[in-house]
Structure 1
Amino acid sequence: MSSTASSLPARIELTGEDLVLRDWTEEDLAAMPDLFDHPDIAYWTPIVSPFDAEAARARLAKARQLRADGTTVLLAVTVDGGAPLGEVMLRRAPEGTEIGYAIGPAHRGQGLAARAVRVMAAYAFEQLGVEQVILELEADNAASVGVAVRTGFSLLDVPLIEGEEKGRPYVLQTWGLNR
């Protein structure tokens, strides 16, 4: 993050697309394992696996620390500000302002990821003043590629990102959406 970038607010609540994206709280800890302890989440995301009560507490603490550092926002995806159905992330990094998401298995198929991405992109454009947001996706992750396409992102002509997470090699494509 450049020294000219603005800091992130201590509290964030975003509404739109029939969603309320809000800060994680201690009241969410019990629900987090049902959202994140799943083979798909373990495979496609860097979220720890297995995801248990201890992992939930660590994720809440990490979300608060990343916000305080001014680099990352992790918000619970809800329909009414109540029970979390998943998470959406906004991360300011040298390669761009990245959005990421994970929707709990019981809540998939409702367009939650696409709607959360649109709300978070609008926040990045309108409140943070960024010109472009990116998604970094594996080409084989059909669900996430579908979200990218449905939300208007285009595959960018930039080098692939290769790495390893949890002992599994990955290759990420970068998709972009301009203001």
Structure 2
Amino acid sequence: MSSATPSFPDRIELTGEGLVLRDWTESDLAAMPALFDHTDIAYWTPIVSPFDDEAARTRLDRARKLRTDGTGILLAITVDGGAPLGEVMLKRAPEGTELGYAVGPAHRGQGLAARAVRVMAGYAFEELGAEQVILELEAENAASVGVATSTGFRVLDVPLIKGEEKGRPYVLQTWGLDRP
């Protein structure tokens, strides 16, 4: 992290769109497997699978390390600051300020991902001075394409990102949203 890059505060709580995005805490560990141990999340995201109590502890530790390193933040998506319903991520990467999200299966269909992306993009623009935020997703992931289009992202004219995760090849498109 360069000295020109603002560091993240020790504690973050973002509100808007009927949501409270907050830091993961020890008390969330028991709820995390129900959110992340699902075939869709295993297939479309790099989140470890199966996602058990040990994976929850590892994710909490990773969230804290990313924050300390100044490279990213992982926040619980909640409606009131209480029970987590999913996660939204912001990562500083060479490609740009990247956002990501995962919503627990029991909480889908409420627009949580789109609302969380809008709140996190606002944070990136207003607090971090980002000129653009990006999403990297597979064109076949209809739910994520829906989130990207509904939040104003557009496919960027940049090379596709090809790789392999969990033994499965993937091809990611980069979608961008410019500072308003």
TM-score range, shorter chain: over 0.9
State the secondary structure of the residue aligned to 1:106.
Answer: helix
How high is the TM-score relative to the length of structure 2? 0.98
Give runs of aligned pairs for residues 20-169 of structure 1, distance below 5 A. Answer: 20-169=20-169
Corresponding residue of 1:176: 176
Give the CA RMSD over aligned residues.
0.6
Corresponding residue of 1:15: 15
How high is the TM-score relative to the length of structure 1? 0.99
Identity of aligned residues (%): 83
> Number of residue pairs matched?
179
State the secondary structure of the residue aligned to 1:84.
Answer: coil
Q: How big is the shift at 1:41?
A: 0.3
Unaligned runs of 5+ in 2: none
Unaligned runs of 5+ in 1: none
Matched letter for residue 32 of structure 1: M
Rounded Cα–Cα distance in structure 1 between residues aligned with 2:89 and 2:74: 5
State the secondary structure of the residue aligned to 2:11.
Answer: coil
Rounded Cα–Cα distance in structure 2 between residues aligned with 1:175 and 1:148: 7
Rounded Cα–Cα distance in structure 1 between residues aligned with 2:138 and 2:98: 14
Corresponding residue of 2:4: 4
1:70-108 Cα distance to aligned partner (Å, 9 max, x none): 001000000000000000000000000000000000000
1:17-60 Cα distance to aligned partner (Å, 9 max, x none): 00000000000000000000000000000000000000000100
Rounded Cα–Cα distance in structure 2 between residues aligned with 1:10 and 1:162: 34
